[in-house]
């Protein structure tokens, strides 16, 4: 994976009376373009870390240049702050993910974002610090809301084996090894998952026609059998395969913006109300 860290915070372009704003500049834009192109040439997925959406850059032409660069370079993830609330926006290729400020209280408990690029699948979930471990993130297959489009079995991690089973992978973070981790389709039978790395569990499970959701649960030995502490569950809704898997997706009308935000997704820590100083929050 290629991770690029981009500083877009400007001191007002050195002009008196203009405070902090967001700019990149020609030299950094050219550097960024070369790095993204090199990652694509090497077949390495690319993740960008920057303060705000490209659409928040001060210069309109720069907004389009950077957003178009991310789209054309098939950047998988752009991880941001700035919004002061958790938000996910997906334009069909790139997941724009903003994690809330630790000093902001409208969006609930403080915490941090966990993102994963697992093969062709990108995933993200917010972890609140007032929750007892473990923490679970399904890393494959993809959820329909943030799956690359058009979604095929291959790009969404829904490829079946000879027995019609899909591979399920999950990241589990905890202060000790969980007693067990298992998965199920809809409300079907649980299937035990095997540890395949220090933090990763994996299993194969049948995906019948008409199935809608996939659930992974990690259980700590300290769990009493009821209550939210020492047990965690992540739930996704895998996408249906696209009827035209080789169709090209057109570039959106406003790339690199929150126009494609997915709205509330409470299971991932996203309320969708955009509270905070930069959109729909109070005046500060």
Peptide bond into 164 cis (omega under 30): no
User: What are the angstrom distances between the C-alpha of 245 and each of 11, 140, 171, 230, 240?
Assistant: 46, 19, 28, 41, 11
Residue from 64, 29, 42, 121 nearest 256 by CA: 64
Residue 14: strand, helix, or coil: helix
User: b/e map of 227-242 (b: 16 or more CB within 10 Å)?
Assistant: eeebbbebebebbeeb
User: What are the angstrom distances between the C-alpha of 262 and each of 88, 93, 266?
Assistant: 6, 14, 11
What pTM does this model have?
0.90
Contact, 144 vs 238, CB < 8 A?
yes
Question: For residues 101 and 30, what is the distance between their CA atoms, to the nearest angstrom?
Answer: 30
Average model confidence (pLDDT) across the chain: 89
Question: For residues 249 and 22, what is the distance between their CA atoms, to the nearest angstrom?
Answer: 29
What does the pLDDT look like over 169-219, one tens digit per residue? Answer: 999 999 999 999 999 999 999 999 999 999 999 999 999 989 999 999 999
- Tokens at 152, concatenated: 């095929």
Residue 181, sorted as left (phi over 0), alpha (psi -120 to 50) or beta, turns out to be beta
pLDDT exceeding 70 applies to what percent of the chain?
88
């Amino acid at each position: 994976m290629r991770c690029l860290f981009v500083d877009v915070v400007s001191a007002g372009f050195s002009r008196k009376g203009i405070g902090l704003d967001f700019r990149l500049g020609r030299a950094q834009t050219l550097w960024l373009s070369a790095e993204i192109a090199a990652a694509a040439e090497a077949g390495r997925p690319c993740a960008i870390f920057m303060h705000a959406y490209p659409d928040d850059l001060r210069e309109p032409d720069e907004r389009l240049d950077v957003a178009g660069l991310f789209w054309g370079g098939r950047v998988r993830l752009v991880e941001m702050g700035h919004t002061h609330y958790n938000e996910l926006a997906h334009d069909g290729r790139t997941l724009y993910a903003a994690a809330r400020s630790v000093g902001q209280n409208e969006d609930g408990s403080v915490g941090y974002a966990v993102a994963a690029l697992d093969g062709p699948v990108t995933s993200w979930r917010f972890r609140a610090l007032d929750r007892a471990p473990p923490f679970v993130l399904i890393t494959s297959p993809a959820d329909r809301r943030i799956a690359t489009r058009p979604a095929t079995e291959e790009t969404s991690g829904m490829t079946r084996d000879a027995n019609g089973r899909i591979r399920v992978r999950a990241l589990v973070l905890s202060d000790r090894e969980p007693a067990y981790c298992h998965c199920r389709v809809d409300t079907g039978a649980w299937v035990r998952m095997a540890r395949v790395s220090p933090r990763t569990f994996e299993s194969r499970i049948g995906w019948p026609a008409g199935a809608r959701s996939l659930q992974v649960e990690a259980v700590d030995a300290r769990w009493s059998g009821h209550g939210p502490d020492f047990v965690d569950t992540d739930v996704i809704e895998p996408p249906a395969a696209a009827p035209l898997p080789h169709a090209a997706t057109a570039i959106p009308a406003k790339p690199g913006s929150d126009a494609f935000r997915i709205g509330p997704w409470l299971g991932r820590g996203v309320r969708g109300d955009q509270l905070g100083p930069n959109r729909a929050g109070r005046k500060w």
